Amino acid sequence: MARIRLGMVGGGNDAFIGGVHRIASRIDDRFELVAGALSSTPEKSSASAKVLGIPRSYGSFEEMAEAEAAREDGIEAVSIVTPNHVHAAAAKAFLAQGIHVICDKPLTSTMEDAEALEQAVAKSDALFVLTHNYTGYPMIRQARDMIAKGELGQIRIVQAEYPQDWLNGPAENEGVKQAEWRTDPARSGAGGSIGDIGTHAHNLACFVSGLQVESLAADLQSFGAGRTLDDNAHMLLRFKGGARGMLWSSQVAPGNENALKLRVYGEKGGLEWSQEDPNYLWFTPDGEPKRLLTRNGSGATEASQAVSRIPGGHPEGYLEGFATIYREAADAIRAVQGGADPASAMGVLPGIAAGMDGMRFINACVTSSKNDAVWTAL
């Protein structure tokens, strides 16, 4: 299958997440990066393009969208890996030209921008994919598959947590670019830890359980001196259908790097998964000993095997999870180019609906916390 011509907005050669997306797009050899508006100035963008070997460089995403749409060999898809406040404008520019969009999360920095982007997606023939990369892990797909098949019975409890420690000190005042924009409301939006990592935990809880959060009660804190956005959050969750849950996100928890964990309990049993040990899934049928299920091991389901690339026992995780999103995006793009229905082509890929759910989650957290943790509908 011919490689999909890919562009990138943001993600200069010194940007962490840009590098992750570039690696992920290449793992299954489905994309070729041919154009970019990689930085905030034409000079920086050109310099990054030269270092990365990208043939065509642009000074802005507006220029790039128009010029690439006019070329016979123009890009077919674009990765948007900028800070949150640029997502909506950049995505709309490419959607208007019929260019498929693969966008980093969260969806945008404001609900107003999110709603405008939702309308742009509805009007465009192009696909919109949101890179909630943890949904691409094999054992997450297995957990989702087991729950969908009823192996846990009716779900009663869902617990998700995502603690980190990298903002325990004043990193935003020490020249750490990732910290500077993530703690800035103008660029990050209304959510700090809840927008950056809380949305991952929320998305994963819903993706695996098949449930939707109906309301929540949130308590947000900003422990960092002078920090206006939350760096720690606790919340109670009520799911449609009656299940209950808890979610904790923190970037000021010493000893935690990327400790995303998910636990789901139903009337017939429970599942436990940890992102830092992603090839294992603990399954406990009610009244029976706990069982360890391994990626590509005995008991692996077709759902997990379909997104696993190497034999069991070899580590497979973060980059491959991202790569699964890119591979499935490539499949979806080729399918719609061949006349397939866009909704069917997307499959389980997170898209605009997942993005809007994440924005409603952020807004509900902020609203609830401001009102002394009152229960707030999503």
Rg (CA), the chain: 20
What average pLDDT does the segment 345-349 reach?
A: 97
What average pLDDT does the segment 305-327 reach?
A: 96
Q: How confident is the model at residue 167 (pLDDT cuts 50, 70, 90)?
A: very high
Say whether domain 4-126 belongs to CATH 3.60.150.10.
no
Q: How confident is the model at residue 35 (pLDDT cuts 50, 70, 90)?
A: very high
Architecture label for domain 136-310+358-370: 2-Layer Sandwich (3.30)
pLDDT tens, 269-302?
Answer: 999 999 999 999 999 999 999 999 999 999 999 9
What is the domain partition of the chain in residue ranges?
A: 4-126, 136-310+358-370
pLDDT tens, 67-105?
Answer: 999 999 999 999 999 999 999 999 999 999 999 999 999
pTM of the predicted protein model: 0.96
Q: How confident is the model at residue 365 (pLDDT cuts 50, 70, 90)?
A: very high
**Residue 1: is its pLDDT beyond 80?**
no
Q: What percent of the chain has pLDDT over 70?
A: 100
What average pLDDT does the segment 191-196 reach?
A: 97
What average pLDDT does the segment 356-364 reach?
A: 98
Q: How confident is the model at residue 40 (pLDDT cuts 50, 70, 90)?
A: confident
pLDDT tens, 112-155?
Answer: 999 999 999 999 999 999 999 999 999 999 999 999 999 999 99
Q: What span, in angstroms and rounded, lies between the C-alpha atoms of 119 and 4?
A: 26
**What sign results for the dihedral spanned by CA atoms 188, 205, 123, 364?**
negative
Mean pLDDT of the chain: 97
Q: What span, in angstroms and rounded, lies between the C-alpha atoms of 125 and 358?
A: 23
Q: How confident is the model at residue 14 (pLDDT cuts 50, 70, 90)?
A: confident
pLDDT tens, 219-272?
Answer: 999 999 999 999 999 999 999 999 999 999 999 999 999 999 999 999 999 999
What average pLDDT does the segment 348-356 reach?
A: 98
- What is the amino acid identity at position 303? A
Look at 6-10, 13-17, 172-176, 263-267 and tell me which has the smallest mean pLDDT.
Answer: 13-17
What average pLDDT does the segment 319-345 reach?
A: 97
